[in-house]
């Protein structure tokens, strides 16, 4: 049996899908943060430029325009604390103060590249982008305030790197987690497949080990083991049927063969006709046995469960009582019934009718002359309970578990007609309907009790 690699496992593929989703989500999130931070920083820069220009304009109004140049020079001398660049032109366009180039001299917003700002007497080694805001003063002078935006550019670059590496990191973590989970899952599935292989190789008592990793897998394991239990029970039943047929049908078939051989010596037409009728009756008995075995096998295999419906069990038992009441009187037995009305279960009405018919026929056959047979139906604690009882010789307690087996017959009943399949068929129908079958001592006689579960009634009555 070829083993799968972790890369081929469903867990790894699922992790790969989640990795792609997480990477796309992380990239979109960081990109959104990048845009938001950039916009916020840009707005903050613009607001700072407007505030600085308003401050300088206020100083010009308060102290006169001639003092504005001195104020700018003073603010420029604060090297480490100066975040701004300036340009002040007089009404004739001549530079008064500031270190911005003359090309920045325009009202409103602007942007230009200038040499990177350095300490005095140090050469510049690069260009920076400057955001500018210019205003025209009352005397016609032009004031431009600028600010270096290289920090914003660096922030944007850093956020892009974060976006890239976070996406890669999440993808790598997800793939690693997928490999880890896939490896764990595959090891557990290998144990399951090995157990199934052992079962297919003949270890019928072996079962699937728990998978774990969630309630759904536990439920799957439980159902697989229940299926294996059911399959083993059916196989055991099939082997038992084969054994039973080999042992219990050998006698009637051998008797039939002897009977057919004896017919060779018959010359009287009437005797020959009687012998043929007897042989046909024996063949019918064998065919009836095969039919009963086939019926039991079908029922044990779950046949008929798909046809389940709400069944009025009271009406079913009333019909059985009516059908066998006259036969009981003719056999010198009494047959009474006490049936509560309108009690329902879920099941197959034909199989339930056959169940109670078999119980009544079993009582008529084995209860003895003058026996009293009774049939009861009632609701006990919400569960439908049916009983069939007689006051005949009964069945020893030690034999209660055996009489429901195929072909099993008590020594006292071997002289009567029958194949020993009646109670086996009853047990199979009861199990199909989820009913609990109990055989009890009726002191004297036998009491057969069938208790249908509460769930059956609740399903039907909804």
From first to last of the 462 residues of the chain, give the pLDDT tens digit.
Answer: 455 555 566 666 776 777 777 777 777 777 787 788 878 888 888 898 899 888 888 888 888 777 888 888 888 776 544 578 888 888 888 888 888 888 888 889 988 888 766 555 555 556 788 889 999 988 888 999 998 887 777 877 887 787 778 777 777 877 777 777 777 777 888 888 888 888 888 787 888 888 776 777 788 888 888 888 878 777 776 676 666 666 666 777 787 888 788 888 777 888 888 888 888 887 877 777 666 667 666 676 666 677 788 999 999 999 999 999 999 998 889 999 999 999 999 988 888 998 999 899 988 988 888 899 999 999 988 889 999 999 988 888 777 767 776 656 554 444 444 556 778 888 888 888 889 999 988 888 999 999 998 654 433 333
Residue 237: Cβ within 10 Å count: 17
Q: Which two tokens stand for residue 312?
A: 């009025």
Q: What is the per-residue pLDDT for 318? A: 95
Whose CA is closest to 448, among 321, 310, 355? 355
Q: For residue 424, with 0-12 CB atoms within 10 Å meaning exposed, 13-18 middle and 19 or more buried, which class applies?
A: buried
Q: What is the per-residue pLDDT for 449? A: 94
Q: Which two tokens stand for residue 75?
A: 């603010």
Q: Which two tokens stand for residue 310?
A: 């709400």
Strands 127-136 and 108-115: antiparallel
Number of H helices, E strands in the chain: 10, 12
CA-based Rg of the chain, rounded to a whole angstrom?
49
Q: Which two tokens stand for residue 169?
A: 């990191």
**Cβ-contact 342, 314 below 8 angstroms:** yes
Q: Which two tokens stand for residue 49?
A: 């430029």
Whose CA is closest to 56, among 22, 26, 97, 18? 97
Q: What is the per-residue pLDDT for 134? A: 92
CA dihedral 189, 191, 193, 196 (to 10 degrees): -140
Strands 309-312 and 127-136: unpaired
Q: What is the per-residue pLDDT for 457? A: 40
Q: For residue 134, with 0-12 CB atoms within 10 Å meaning exposed, 13-18 middle and 19 or more buried, which class applies?
A: buried
Q: What is the per-residue pLDDT for 339? A: 94
């Amino acid at each position: 049996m070829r083993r799968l690699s972790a890369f081929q496992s469903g867990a790894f593929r699922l992790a790969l899908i989640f990795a792609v989703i997480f990477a796309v989500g992380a990239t979109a999130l960081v990109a959104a943060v990048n845009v938001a931070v950039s916009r916020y920083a840009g707005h903050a820069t613009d607001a700072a430029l407007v505030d600085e220009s308003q401050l300088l304009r206020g100083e010009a109004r308060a102290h006169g325009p001639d003092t504005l140049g001195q104020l700018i020079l003073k603010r420029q001398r604060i090297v480490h604390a100066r975040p701004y660049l300036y340009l002040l032109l007089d009404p004739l366009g001549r530079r008064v103060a500031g270190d911005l180039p003359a090309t920045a001299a325009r009202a409103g917003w602007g942007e230009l590249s200038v040499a990177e700002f350095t300490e005095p007497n140090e050469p510049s080694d690069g260009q920076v982008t400057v955001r500018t805001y210019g205003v025209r003063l009352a005397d016609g002078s032009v004031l431009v305030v600028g600010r270096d935006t290289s920090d914003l550019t660096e922030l944007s670059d850093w956020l892009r790197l974060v976006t890239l590496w976070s996406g890669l990191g999440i993808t790598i973590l997800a793939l690693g987690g997928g490999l880890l989970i896939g490896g764990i899952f595959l090891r557990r599935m290998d144990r399951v497949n090995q157990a199934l292989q052992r079962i297919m190789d003949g270890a019928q008592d072996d079962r699937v080990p728990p998978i774990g990793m969630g309630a759904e897998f536990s439920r799957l394991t439980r159902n697989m083991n229940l299926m294996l239990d059911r399959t083993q029970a059916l196989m055991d039943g099939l082997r038992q049927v084969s054994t039973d047929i080999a042992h219990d049908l050998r006698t009637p078939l051998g008797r039939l063969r002897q009977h057919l051989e004896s017919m060779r010596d018959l010359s009287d037409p009437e005797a020959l006709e009687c012998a043929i009728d007897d042989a046909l009756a024996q063949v019918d008995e064998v065919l009836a046995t095969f039919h009963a075995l086939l019926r039991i096998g079908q029922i044990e295999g779950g046949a008929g469960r798909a046809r389940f419906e709400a069944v009025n069990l009271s009406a079913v038992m009333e019909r059985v009582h009516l059908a066998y009441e006259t036969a009981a009187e003719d056999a010198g037995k009494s047959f009474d019934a006490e049936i509560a009305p309108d009690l329902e279960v879920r099941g197959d009405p034909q199989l339930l009718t056959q169940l109670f018919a078999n119980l009544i026929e079993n009582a008529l056959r084995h209860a003895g002359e003058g026996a009293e047979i009774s049939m009861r139906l009632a609701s006990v604690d919400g569960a439908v309970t049916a009983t069939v009882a007689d006051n005949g010789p009964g069945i020893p307690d030690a034999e209660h578990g055996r009489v429901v087996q195929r072909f099993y017959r008590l020594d006292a009943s071997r002289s009567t007609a029958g194949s020993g399949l009646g109670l086996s068929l009853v047990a199979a129908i009861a199990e199909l309907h989820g009913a609990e079958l109990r055989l009890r001592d009726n002191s004297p006689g036998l009491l057969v009790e069938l208790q249908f579960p509460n769930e059956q009634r609740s399903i039907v009555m909804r």
